[in-house]
C-alpha cells in the first residue's frame, strides 16, 4: 500500500479519506519538523500532506524517492513550495483555495475593529484590575464609516474583505496586477492607494516582487493617521521598518496575524498599544481548518487514483 506522510496533525475527517488510499503516517512532533527530520519522515512516501511551515524543495523530493506523486499543501499560499523543481520531477503540487476565504476575511475585520476601537488596550486594562471610570475622552478610537479601505491584492479574500467593508459604509480602493471590471471599487496604482487609504489591508501572495512590499518608503507614503493590517504572509511587511515608522509616528497603528520569521516577532512591536498581534489565526475555525485538510486529502486521492487534482498549483 502507498505511504502517505502527513507532516503535522490534521482533523480525523481528512485522515479517514487518506486511510482509504494507503498507510497514513502522521508526524507525532507538535512542532515543525527540521529539514533533516522532514527528509527522513517522507522517505518512501507516495504522497505528502504538508503545512505552510514545511519547505518542500528538490532535497525533500529526493529524500522521498521515486514513489512520490503529489504534495498537498494545507494552505492557499505555496511560497513554501519549489513548484518548478517538483514539476521537473513529475510531482503534482496542490493547495487549498476558496475554503478559507470567509474566515480570513472575518479575522481581517476583527483586527480592524480591535485596532481602531482599542479592544486589546481595554481588555488589558480590565484584566490588570487597574482603576477606570467612564468619561467622554476615555480610550477613544476611530470609526470605520466613511473611511477609505485600501486593498492590496483583490483575490477571493480581498473581495470578501471589501464586501464586509462596504457593509460598514467604507469606500474601497484597490491595487493589484490588473483592474477587475466586475468589481465596484476604484482601481488605483499602489503608490496612490498608500496615500489615499485610511486603512491598508494586505491580501497579495508572497512572491519575490511582494517581499517587503511594505517597506520604509511605503510606510512613509501612508497617511500619518492610517492603519496597516496584514493577514497574508509575514514577509510582505518589513517588520523592522514598521517598528521604525510607528516609533516615528508615521502611521497610527498596525495589526498583524502573520510575521516575517514566524513565530518570532520584531521585539519593538510587542509592547506597543497601537499594535494588535494574533498568532496566524486567519483560517482558525473548526469548519475552515477541517475543510482545508479534507480538500488536501481529496487532492491526494485524485492523484493517487489517476484522476485530475482538484486544485493543482501550476509552475
Positions marked catalytic:
233, 262, 280
With residue 165 as reference, give the H or E element that holds it: helix 156-167
The vertex-203 CA angle with 255 and 174, nearest 5°, equals 105
- Report the C-alpha gap between 49 and 71 in whole angstroms: 6
**122-to-96, 140, 205 alpha-carbon distances in Å:** 36, 10, 33
- Report the C-alpha gap between 56 and 41 in whole angstroms: 12
Residue 246's SS3 state is helix
- Residue in this structure with the C-alpha cell 507538535, named with its chain if needed: 30
- Report the C-alpha gap between 201 and 188 in whole angstroms: 14
- Long-range pairs for 155-159: beta carbons < 8 A, 24 or more residues apart: 155/203, 155/205, 156/97, 156/98, 156/101, 157/76, 157/100, 157/101, 157/104, 157/105, 157/108, 157/203, 157/231, 157/232, 158/201, 158/203, 159/183
- Report the C-alpha gap between 191 and 266 in whole angstroms: 25
Amino acid at each position: 500500500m502507498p505511504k502517505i506522510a502527513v507532516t503535522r496533525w490534521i482533523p480525523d475527517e481528512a485522515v479517514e479519506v487518506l486511510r482509504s488510499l494507503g498507510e497514513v503516517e502522521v508526524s507525532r512532533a507538535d512542532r515543525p519538523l527540521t529539514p533533516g527530520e522532514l527528509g527522513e519522515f517522507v522517505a518512501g512516501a507516495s504522497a505528502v500532506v504538508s503545512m505552510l511551515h514545511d519547505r518542500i524543495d528538490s532535497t525533500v523530493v529526493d529524500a522521498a524517492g521515486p514513489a512520490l506523486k503529489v504534495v498537498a499543501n494545507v494552505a492557499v499560499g505555496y511560497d513554501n513550495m519549489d513548484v518548478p523543481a517538483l514539476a521537473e520531477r513529475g510531482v503534482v503540487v496542490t493547495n487549498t483555495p476558496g475554503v478559507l476565504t470567509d474566515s480570513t476575511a472575518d479575522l481581517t475585520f476583527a483586527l480592524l475593529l480591535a485596532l481602531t476601537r482599542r479592544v486589546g488596550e481595554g481588555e488589558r486594562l480590565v484584566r490588570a484590575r487597574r482603576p477606570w471610570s467612564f468619561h467622554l475622552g476615555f480610550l477613544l478610537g476611530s470609526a470605520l464609516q466613511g473611511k477609505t479601505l485600501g486593498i492590496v491584492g483583490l483575490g477571493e479574500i480581498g473581495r470578501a474583505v471589501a464586501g464586509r467593508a462596504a457593509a460598514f459604509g467604507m469606500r474601497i480602493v484597490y491595487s493589484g496586477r490588473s483592474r477587475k471590471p466586475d468589481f465596484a471599487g476604484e482601481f488605483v496604482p499602489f503608490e496612490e492607494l498608500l496615500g489615499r487609504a485610511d486603512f491598508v489591508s494586505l491580501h497579495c501572495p508572497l512572491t519575490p516582487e511582494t517581499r517587503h512590499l511594505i517597506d520604509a518608503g511605503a510606510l512613509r507614503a501612508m497617511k500619518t493617521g492610517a492603519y496597516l493590517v496584514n493577514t497574508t504572509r509575514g514577509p510582505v511587511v518589513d517588520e523592522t521598518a514598521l517598528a521604525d515608522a510607528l516609533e516615528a509616528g508615521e502611521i497610527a497603528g498596525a495589526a498583524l496575524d502573520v510575521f516575517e520569521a514566524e513565530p518570532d516577532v520584531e521585539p519593538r512591536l510587542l509592547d506597543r498599544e497601537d499594535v494588535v498581534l494574533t498568532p496566524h489565526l486567519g483560517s482558525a475555525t473548526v469548519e475552515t481548518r477541517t475543510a482545508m485538510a479534507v480538500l488536501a486529502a481529496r487532492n491526494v486521492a485524485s492523484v493517487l487514483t489517476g484522476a485530475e487534482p482538484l486544485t493543482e498549483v501550476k509552475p
